[in-house]
Amino acid sequence: MKVISYNVNGIRAAINKGFLDWLKTEAPDVICLQEIKALHEQIPLMDFEALGYHHFWFPAQKKGYSGTALLSRIQPDNVVYGINLPQYDNEGRFLRADFGELSVVSIYHPSGSSGDERQAFKMQWLSDFQDYVLNLRKERPNLILSGDYNICHQAIDIHDPVRNATVSGFLPEEREWMTGFLEQGFIDSFRQLNKAPHNYSWWSYRANARANNKGWRIDYHMLSENLLPALKSASILPDVKHSDHCPVVVELAD
């Protein structure tokens, strides 16, 4: 199974930049999208059906903001929208699909970059998200948690760790949370297989950051530890440019 996660920074904008042609060529079994920024009626659903995808959309209540989606070639057995906490579900941050014993989740962690209030919201989300996932794992032990986590875990994951040490997305408490989350029995699939620096999934639109590869690795496929024997490959596709993020890929053996 080939699973892609991609923060598209607006599905309509991505489509205008050739997203559908790329999706047809790349042909993942499942693709998890974040920051769709669109309501159902604003999305060309038939175009996704024409490519052979079942599609599930979890937009935010606020127009033009946040939201997740999950597209799959296989019909899921079950789809669950949200985590039963309205403050997060109103922003469309967690969308799960079950395929037999495997569950794939599209996740969009909040950003704290707009100020203290949203940073506090982000930290509360991280705590509530972890509690929810640990409980979910008791029922659904085979988890692929794919999405934009809005956190660089280690210095290797960011182009300038010194200057960004006090910036949301690389704060000590965020990095500590991610360490603790992984210690609960999850795997950063990319770092499991690739220890090289200069691998990023998001670049600022400012100062020619992408051309100079001054980026952040904030998009992940986190796997429950029991899926490690099935992990075949994990990669980042920085040359795909429909967004300020790029897709990240994980492949699991059947």
Q: Determine whether 116 is an active site residue.
A: no
Nearest Cα residue to 175 out of 201, 204, 202, 155: 155
| Candidates 21, 77, 128, 148; catalytic one | 148
- Give the Cα separation of 117 and 107 in Å (integer): 21
Pairing relation of β-strands 142-148 and 102-108? Answer: parallel
What's the token pair of residue 86? 């309205």
Burial 170-183 (b: 16+ CB within 10 A, else e): bbeebbebbeebee
- Tell me the three state secondary structure of residue 221: strand
Nearest Cα residue to 224 out of 170, 191, 254, 181: 181
- Give the Cα separation of 161 and 140 in Å (integer): 36
* Cα separations in angstroms, 107 against 47, 111, 209: 23, 12, 25
Catalytic residues: 148
